[in-house]
């Protein structure tokens, strides 16, 4: 099955700074999806990234806070901007990489201090 490489795997950041998370898929995919997962909680969709167009954000998430790039069919980045401690979470990317079933990256554990 396909592999999604996500980095960094973890980071500790100062409040007010920004962090860019990268996801690389080893095959071309139409859509890539970005999720946030609070400790002990389920996954919440942040946005859907389609190559060549602006990402579509879910309610409660805005482009200024979570800008997304999708320069080609195998790569996407999510930036967490002007971070605060409330942004501390696990961020995951995903894509459908087979006939069915979605593959996820291993996640980025972000701690904002």
Contact footprint for other proteins (CB under 8 A) = 4, 6, 29-31, 33, 42-45, 48, 92, 94-97, 99-107, 109
CB of 105 to other proteins, least distance (A): 6
Distance CA 17, CA 19 (A): 7
- Of 1 and 15, nearer to other proteins (C-beta) is 1
Tell me whether strands 108-112 and 10-13 are parallel, antiparallel or unpaired. parallel
Which of 51, 30, 45 lies closest to 95 in space, CA to CA? Answer: 30
CA distance 54 to 51: 8
Kindly state the smallest distance separating residue 11's Cβ from other proteins, in Å: 14
Q: How far is the CB of 34 from other proteins (least distance, A)?
A: 9
16 vs 63, beta carbon nearer other proteins: 63
């Amino acid at each position: 099955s396909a592999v999604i490489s996500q980095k960094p795997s973890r980071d500790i950041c100062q409040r007010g700074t920004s962090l860019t998370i990268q996801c690389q898929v080893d095959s071309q995919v139409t859509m890539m999806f970005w999720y946030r997962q609070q400790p002990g909680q389920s996954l919440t969709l942040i946005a859907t990234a389609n190559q060549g167009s602006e990402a579509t954000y879910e309610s409660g998430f805005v482009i200024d806070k979570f800008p997304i790039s999708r320069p080609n069919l195998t790569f996407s980045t999510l930036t967490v901007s002007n971070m605060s401690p409330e942004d501390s979470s696990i961020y995951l990317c995903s894509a459908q990489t087979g006939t069915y079933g979605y593959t996820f990256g291993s996640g980025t554990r972000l701690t904002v201090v």
